[in-house]
Amino acid sequence: MSDTGYTEVVTHAKVREVELPLGAGTMALITLDNGHDHSKPNTLGPQTLASIDAAIDAALAVTGVVAIGITGKPFWVAAGADLKGVQVITDREQALDVARTGHRVLGRLGDSPVPSFAFLNGAALGGGLEIALNSTYRTASRAAGALALPEVAIGLLPGWGGNWLVPNLVGADNAVTVIIDKPLNNKVMKADEAAGLGLVDAVFDGADFLAQSLLWAAKVLRGDETVQRPEIDRSEQTWGAAIARARGIAAAKGRGTYPNADKAIDLIAEARTATKAEGFALEDEGLADLIMSDTTRANLYAFDLVQRRAKKPAGAPDRSLARKVEKVGVVGAGLMASQLALLFARQMKVPVVITDLDQQRVDKGVAYVHGEVDKLVAKGRMDADTSNRVKALVTGTTDKALFSDADFVIEAVFEKMEVKQQVFGELESFVKPECVLATNTSSLSVAEMAKDLQYPERVVGFHFFTPVALMPTLEIAPTDRTDDATLATAFAVGKAIKKNCVWSKDATAFIVNRLLMRGLGEAITTVDEGTPFQVADEGVVKAGFPLGAFILIAMTGPGVALHTAESLMQAFPDRFTASPGFAAMVAAGKPAIYLWDEKGKASVDPEVAALWPQGDRPSTAEQVATRIKEAMADESRHMLDEGVVQAPQDIDLAMIGGAGLPLPHGGLLPMLDSEGISERVTGRRFLPPGVASVPTT
């Protein structure tokens, strides 16, 4: 695998003889340490496994050794298997080897002639936790950041023993909680919860965790301490109920896109009767199958995007160029503006001034922020002192002179070019020349907005998604004239408010809305042709979206959607077309095409149906889904050719966090590639084989 450019950061397993308290004898204590500080966690690649293997040999060679201990460097046991190493695997034998080597090496901790003790002093994820599961005994620190088996969320299964060991340690139902429920809900465990589930035998405070763990180990070895493990109910009924619960969770969360979750559930089911050897063999085969599947590769690719690429956005200038932002202005006091004010105040802890045309609107905006803060306090998510601080940070005024010392002003006023130009023009008479002027426009030209300004280089597009507090993506769009200091400041602000920033060219509707409107526009076209609304929505979900088109549109507001669509029709008349039905619905002031009854069941509003002229050429949901995907493939190619994004990866990163596209699809492009749609529509793939799929060599 040397030609892939992949180099393992080796975590070394260091063996040290430790004289246990109470005269319990000598323990050979293995410390996993990659030699880096806590910002670079230990990972488990092939050379690391070899190092652990050798460490176990050395431990067993220690004269008079009574036990093996294994623990991590400060703050980390291990973040799991080295995923970069998994992504370069080209054939099934290699994949099998990864699984078998992990089983063989970690399994030695379970089969060792002396008892083994895992001391989870820090975070232990995936293979990191499986080290402990394979050991005879486990302790965990209350200070350990996270204990989890996240494999199912990233396209894998706990294939170094976890899938068989967990149900055999804690029973099927708790195993479903640990292996299926928590990862699919993006949850991890702390030590006490893990102990409650039976995953660890003893928990100690962080302050003297290892010393207390070693004392506990000494007592266990001397027989002073008896380790209690729960009796497991292996009845078919209990086991079956747990498996049914797991299938339900996967179905609710997975929408059929997590084949690996199904496999992990199968293995929990098998664990009821399978021997350890059989269980481990099933894990080997299951893991090898998954590693050799495009879905898993796409999932790993998407995981890497949100974990890594999101933290170092492509296109961002050197962060040292960023100016300090110690006061923020928000123009507009509507819902979006108020949400932005709350976000800036809460995350950046700087004064935020809201302005609008009249005091009443301003007061309403400030009141909204205060109300949201109170809700956070009521939910226990903010303490009283912080709420006082955040509330005091947000003030409102009709006097834009209060922006004179602001470093960053964002407008969220009515989506009309003349209005926005006027706002920026007026602002320039108040703010200092280096104050960044940001626009939350969703589809207007940023350059056009800046063209008549004295200092157009300080203007940048800064586009959020609704709901602002929840959606991770933030599109940052410089114009040709935006200077590096402004752009660097925009990225720094985006990072400070904890968004995944994606660079976008100042092109109509940027990245997410352009693709969304193209895809949803296709769905609307099928309705115009005669497809029933609900069938079209089914197609949208089949294409990978979290919700149907008409629910998404209801969420953003049909008016905003129509406005964006119209901007796109103007910019790209050959690909974006008007829907008379949709226009009629907006004109009639309809907030949605559906009516929801008291049980939340949706039915098409007959008034909307009456407004909407439909043809007689209906499509099936599958046909709708295919047309959406084809449209988005075509649009993605146009965007790449126009340089709207820095790289195909940014389309996926933006769509995952801005449109909720699922990780197992890798976002958008890996799905289009793997289904052959990219090649059929555009003549080529978006990503070379191996990037988000199994390499074809």
Partner 1 sequence: MRRTVRDVVFVDGVRTPFGKAGAKSQYAETRADDLVVALIRELMRRNPQLPPEAIDEVAIAATTQTGDQGLTIGRTAAILAGLPRSVPGYSIDRMCAGGMTAATNVMAAIAVGGADVAIAGGVEHMTKHPMGEGFDPNPRIISEKLVDPAALNMGVTAENLHDRFPHLTKERADAYGVASQEKYAKALADGKIQQDLVPIQIWSSEKGWGLAVADEPPRPGTTMEGIANLKTPFRPRGRVTAANASPLTDGATACIVAAADVAEQLGLPAKMRLVSFAFAGVEPEVMGVGPVPATEKALARAGLSIDDIGLFELNEAFSVQVLALLDHYGIADDDPRVNPWGGAIAVGHPLASSGVRLFTQLARHFETHPEVRYGLTSMCVGLGQGGTVIWENPHHADYGKENDK
The residues that touch partner 1, with contacts defined as CB under 8 A, are 14-16, 18-21, 29-31, 33, 35, 71, 73-74, 121, 205, 207-211, 214-215
Is 323 in contact with 487 (CB distance < 8 Å)? Answer: no
Q: How many CB atoms neighbour CB 109 within 10 A?
A: 25
Least CB distance from residue 149 to partner 1, whole Å? 24
Say how many Å lie between the first and final Cα of the chain, rounded: 12
Q: Which is nearer to partner 1, 212 or 636 (CB)?
A: 212
Least CB distance from residue 147 to partner 1, whole Å? 19
Burial 447-474 (b: 16+ CB within 10 A, else e): bebbeebebbbbbbbbbbbeebeebbbb
Q: Which is nearer to partner 1, 220 or 562 (CB)?
A: 220
The CA–CA distances, whole Å, from 587 to 559, 563, 574 equal: 9, 12, 24
Q: Which is nearer to partner 1, 19 or 358 (CB)?
A: 19
The CA–CA distances, whole Å, from 279 to 135, 256, 274, 321, 487 equal: 16, 25, 6, 55, 53
Angle made by CA atoms 157, 159, 165, in degrees to the nearest 5: 105
Least CB distance from residue 15 to partner 1, whole Å? 8
* Burial degree of 556 (CB within 10 A; 0-12, 13-18, 19+): middle
Angstrom distance (rounded) from CA 149 to CA 156: 10
Least CB distance from residue 567 to partner 1, whole Å? 56
Is 693 in contact with 686 (CB distance < 8 Å)? Answer: no
Q: Which is nearer to partner 1, 24 or 322 (CB)?
A: 24
Q: Which is nearer to partner 1, 208 or 358 (CB)?
A: 208
Residue at 293: amino acid letter: S
Burial 417-443 (b: 16+ CB within 10 A, else e): eeebbebbeebbebbeeebbbbbbbbb
Q: Which is nearer to partner 1, 74 or 248 (CB)?
A: 74
Angstrom distance (rounded) from CA 396 to CA 403: 11
Least CB distance from residue 31 to partner 1, whole Å? 3
Least CB distance from residue 114 to partner 1, whole Å? 18
Q: Which is nearer to partner 1, 218 or 342 (CB)?
A: 218
Angstrom distance (rounded) from CA 594 to CA 617: 22
Walk across the sheet containing 76-78 and list its strands. Answer: 76-78, 123-125, 147-148
Least CB distance from residue 214 to partner 1, whole Å? 6
Name 460's bridge partners: 438, 478
Q: Which is nearer to partner 1, 29 or 369 (CB)?
A: 29
Torsion of CA 536, 538, 541, 542, to 10 degrees: -100
Which alpha helices (H) appear in 255-358, and where do they start and end?
Answer: 259-270, 276-291, 294-307, 335-348
Nearest residue to 165 (alpha-carbon basis) of 131, 139, 195: 131
Which alpha helices (H) appear in 379-480, and where do they start and end?
Answer: 384-393, 417-428, 446-450
Q: What is the DSSP string of 217-272?
A: HHHHHHTSS----PPP---HHHHHHHHHHHHHHHHHHHTT--HHHHHHHHHHHHTT
Least CB distance from residue 211 to partner 1, whole Å? 4
The CA–CA distances, whole Å, from 37 to 41, 72, 286, 304, 343 equal: 8, 12, 34, 21, 31
Q: Which is nearer to partner 1, 30 or 250 (CB)?
A: 30
Q: Which is nearer to partner 1, 20 or 322 (CB)?
A: 20
Nearest residue to 332 (alpha-carbon basis) of 302, 310, 365: 365
**H-helix or E-strand containing 54?**
helix 46-61
Least CB distance from residue 207 to partner 1, whole Å? 5
Q: Which is nearer to partner 1, 208 or 622 (CB)?
A: 208
Least CB distance from residue 58 to partner 1, whole Å? 12
Least CB distance from residue 74 to partner 1, whole Å? 7
Is 624 in contact with 538 (CB distance < 8 Å)? Answer: yes
Q: Which is nearer to partner 1, 215 or 647 (CB)?
A: 215
Q: Which is nearer to partner 1, 208 or 224 (CB)?
A: 208
Residue at 21: amino acid letter: P
Least CB distance from residue 57 to partner 1, whole Å? 16
Least CB distance from residue 228 to partner 1, whole Å? 22
Least CB distance from residue 209 to partner 1, whole Å? 8
Least CB distance from residue 384 to partner 1, whole Å? 16
Nearest residue to 431 (alpha-carbon basis) of 452, 458, 397: 458
Q: Which is nearer to partner 1, 18 or 88 (CB)?
A: 18
Walk across the sheet containing 25-33 and list its strands. Answer: 12-20, 25-33, 65-72, 116-120, 137-141, 202-204
Name 70's bridge partners: 30, 118
Q: Which is nearer to partner 1, 75 or 576 (CB)?
A: 75
Place of tokens 């295919």: 626
Q: Which is nearer to partner 1, 61 or 417 (CB)?
A: 61
Nearest residue to 270 (alpha-carbon basis) of 256, 281, 259, 260: 281
**Cβ contacts of 193 within 8 Å, gap of 6 or more:** none
Least CB distance from residue 11 to partner 1, whole Å? 11
